[in-house]
Structure 1
Amino acid sequence: MAKQFAGKSAFVTGGGSGIGRASALALAAQGALVTVAGRTEATLDETARLVEEAGGEARFVVADVTDEAQIEMALEAAVAGIGRLDIALNNAGYDGEFQLTQDYSTEMLDRMIALNVRGAFLSMKHELKYMVPQRSGAIVNMSSGAGLVGVAGFSGYAATKAAEVAMTKSSAVEAAPHGIRINAVAPGLVETPMIATQDPNEEPFKSIIAAHPFGRIARAAEIAEAVVWLSSDKASFVTGVVLPVDGGYTVP
């Protein structure tokens, strides 16, 4: 059976672990040449190795998404040898820790704005510079259910994820005449290395897990499947959508 992304290139930020790694594996399994970008060489190298061990093609580039010059360099590496950019997942981000608004660390908020807002914006800006001339492409931004509903203790994070929703919708309207689709995924809580360090029996994670009607949190591979679908021709008439993949977390 032909792979749906055969001959296509994909670029994934935050590709060293969690949702980024799972998405790189899933995109490569469908034939894409995947370039993973992030700040930690060891984890990026491991992602590329895992892709190759699974029979896919991958390469990595160390880059900080908050630095515009580094994003430009990373995308140049992603299109090298293939000459085009077909799929982009803007997944790099920072979720911080539980803090009530009156106690919220300004430094933590600044880091969230830099990664979640500036980083996603710069990534889209330079991805579109490749996609607009070729008049095709699919971009997926990794937002969060926190950008759709209120989450006590995470007001700064929620604000940045709501900003990603607004960027996705606005850019989708701009890009549609060029044949480019831009969507977002809004996960609930996901099994990632950060979550693995938390005690699920302590607040606030105990309450957040309980708020998922399925009674569990998502696996990273489940979020990756949504990324694959939104990136594929099966979603050819889908743009400007923020897709909750959250086990019903945002339903109530």
Structure 2
Amino acid sequence: MTRQFTGKAALVTGGGSGIGRASALALAAEGALVTITGRTEQTLQETVGLIEAAGGSARYVVADMTDEHQIEQAVQTAVAGLGRLDIALNNAGYDGEYQLTQDHSADMLDRMTAINMRGTFLAMKYELRQMVAQGSGSIVNMSSGAGLVGVPGFSGYTATKAAQIAMTKSSALEVAPHGIRVNAVCPGLVDTPMIAELSADQRASLSEAHPLGRIARPEEIADAVVWLSSDRASFITGIALPIDGGYSVP
């Protein structure tokens, strides 16, 4: 049976772990040639190994999302495989730490802005140049439920995640005439390595904050990425899709 992304090229930033790794695996399982980026070569190699062990095709590029030249090179590498770029997941991000606004570190705010906002913007810049040239493509930006609601102690983070949603909507309108779709997903808390380090009591408290009574698995977010990237979502663009177990419901 032909897989839905056979013959298509995908780029996943922040593909070394967590949601990025799960999404890269899911895209590759559907036949895409996946290029992953990140700052840590070992985790990128591990992701590529998992994809290849499952029968998929992938390669990696070490890239820092604060470096425009490295971002451009990563996109060029993704395009070089099949001469096109069909799918891009801009997942690389920086969460920061709990800090009240009046005590917030300017350095931490600058880093979140550089990676979450500027990095996503620059990735879209080069992804969209290729997609406009070929007249097709789908971009998914990894925002957060924190971009939809207030989160005490994370005002800087929520600002950058809300910015990603705003960039998604504006870009979606710009490139719709070219047959390109741009969407965002907004996860609640996800069972990533960072969450795994928390105590049982902390995990229980976080689970209770979600009306469905648990946090998400990375694969559940990856499923949404695959769907938004597919022809099954061909009439969907400019949305910010909550995947948060009801956390952001008013």
Q: For 1:31-75, what per-residue CA distance to the aligned partner results, in whole angstroms no more than 9, with x for missing partners? A: 000000011100001000000001100000000111110011111
Q: Is the 8 A contact 2:117 2:164 kept in 1?
A: yes
Equivalent position amino acid for 2:10 in 1: A
**Which runs of no fewer than 5 residues in structure 1 stay unpaired?**
none
Change (3 A) 1:200 1:162: farther
What is the distance in 2 between the residues matched to 1:96 and 1:197? Answer: 16
Amino acid at match of 2:147: G
Matching residue of 2:158:
158
1:186/1:200 CA distance change after superposition, 3 Å: farther
User: Mapping of 1:209-228 within 5 angstroms?
Assistant: 209-228=207-226
Percent identical pairs in the alignment equals: 73
In 1, Cα distance between equivalents of 2:45 and 2:114: 24
Residue matched to 1:107? 107
Letter of the 1:212 partner, please give it: H
C-alpha distance in 2, partners of 1:156/1:198?
22
For residues 108-167 of structure 1, give each alpha carbon's deviation from its aligned partner in whole angstroms, at most 9, with x where no partner exists.
111100100000000000000100011100000000000000111111100000000000
CA distance in 2: counterparts of 1:209 and 1:106, whole angstroms: 30
**CA distance in 2: counterparts of 1:108 and 1:194, whole angstroms:** 18
The RMSD of aligned alpha carbons is 1.0
Aligned to 1:11: 11
SS in 2 for 1:80: helix
Partners of 2:8 and 2:86 within 8 A in 1: yes
**Normalized against structure 1, the TM-score is what?**
0.97
1-side partners of 2:190 and 2:30: how far apart?
Answer: 23
Q: Give me the whole-angstrom Cα distance separating, in 2, the residues matched to 1:118 and 1:206.
A: 34
Q: Which runs of 5+ in 2 are unaligned?
A: none
Q: Aligned letter for 1:70?
A: Q
Within-5 A mapping of 1:46-57: 46-57=46-57
Return the alpha-carbon distance in structure 2 between the equivalents of residues 106 and 63 of structure 1.
24
Question: In structure 2, do the counterparts of structure 1 residues 200 and 149 end up closer, same or farther at CA, with 3 Å as the change threshold?
Answer: farther
Is contact 2:52–2:58 with CA below 8 Å preserved after alignment? yes
Alignment of 1:69-218 (within 5 A): 69-202=69-202, 207-218=205-216
- TM-score if structure 2 supplies the norm length? 0.98
Instruction: After superposition, give the CA deviation of every residue in 1:164-212 in whole Å (9 maximum; x if it has no partner).
Output: 000000000001000000000000000111121222524xx65543220
